[in-house]
Amino acid sequence: MTLTHYRPATPFEERLWAAHQDGHDALCLSLLRDADLALPITAAAAAGTEAPTWATAADAERTWLLAFTSVAAMRLATGGGAEYCRVVTLVELAAGWPDLRWGLAINPGLAAAFMLESGTVARLAVPTLAHDLMLDPASGVPAVQKLLSPADVHDLLAEGEPRVSGYCHHALDVSHIATPAVLAAALGQPDMLTANGSLNLLRWRPAGLGLYRTPYGGTDEEGRAAVAGWVVEEPPFVGMGLVPSVDHVIREYKVYGVGLPHGAEIWELTSGGTEHRRAIYHGDLRRWLLVGTRAR
């Protein structure tokens, strides 16, 4: 079988090949957003005797990370040179992206091949809050949250019209983490743990989604330009819209002085894994109201 005569091996590939043949590029990208991708690895990596490395190819333009939409596609495109793979989603791939200057080559050499720059990968894997809502209107506006130091809590409770700046993250992405130390480590903020090992959390549903910008960028101007982003931050900044975490995929957003809406809440996550709701913001009264507790 030649590369151009490859027949799709899965129902997903059938849809992808048909969309590509009909010239529906937007549909192709939307299909790839939720796809499982096969990344070639060595036999030793498959056996667990060595760490997986990135399979790449280079041309005059850039280095390309290789991925395939099925094992059959991988084996044909590599002439049988790649027998083993690890399977990742696009967002998992973005979370571990090795170099912002690299691109992603999906099914190189096959009829339905896609060459994506890192900025495209980032925006497919980690859409903005507004784009997320447009893709799934029924999901509603998600909750975001931000870790607070004890001093931050004191300052917020004293403000009649509280505002926040800096980074916040998608609350759903950390809803499974019930241990303060694990959550603080996942967010790269271990210094936010209190003396008794708890965490203070500010949680709210955003108003004005455009104010919550996904931080595409890099650790220098070259990285920022490579991902067509707007942020330059110190390492370990990822630049793909995700918190720099090895074990967790957590979407993050950057804000500048956004006002908190009515119903914003301050929670304490205790070392025992329970949440204590400490306060809720009343927009009409312009003050915080202290409230009770519940188990997580």
pLDDT of res. 118 = 97
The answer to whether 53 touches 45, Cβ cutoff 8 Å, is yes
Residues 264-278 have pLDDT tens digits of 999 999 999 999 999
Longest dimension (CA), the chain: 72
Angle at 125 between CA 135 and CA 202, to 5 degrees: 80
Token reading at 21: 């043949």
* Secondary structure class of 199 (helix, strand, coil): strand
Kindly provide the b/e burial profile for residues 214-252, where b requires at least 16 CB atoms within 10 angstroms of the residue's own CB: bbbbbbeeebbebbebebbbeeebbbbbbbbbeebbbbb
pLDDT at 92 over 50: yes
Predicted TM-score of the model (pTM): 0.90
Nearest-CA neighbor of 68 among 19, 117, 10, 154?
A: 10
Token reading at 76: 């044909």
Nearest-CA neighbor of 145 among 106, 179, 119, 173?
A: 173
pLDDT at 295 over 60: no
Could you give the CA distance from residue 40 to residue 74 in angstroms, rounded to a whole number? 8
Residues 178-203 have pLDDT tens digits of 999 999 999 999 999 999 999 999 99
Taking residues 139-167, what's their average pLDDT? 94
Taking residues 115-134, what's their average pLDDT? 95
Q: DSSP secondary structure string, 16-73?
A: HHHHHHTT-HHHHHHHHHT-EEEEEE-HHHHHTSS-----EEE-SS-EEEEEBSSHHH
How many C-beta atoms surround the C-beta of residue 124 within 10 A? 19
pLDDT of res. 199 = 98
Taking residues 78-91, what's their average pLDDT? 95
How many C-beta atoms surround the C-beta of residue 259 within 10 A? 13
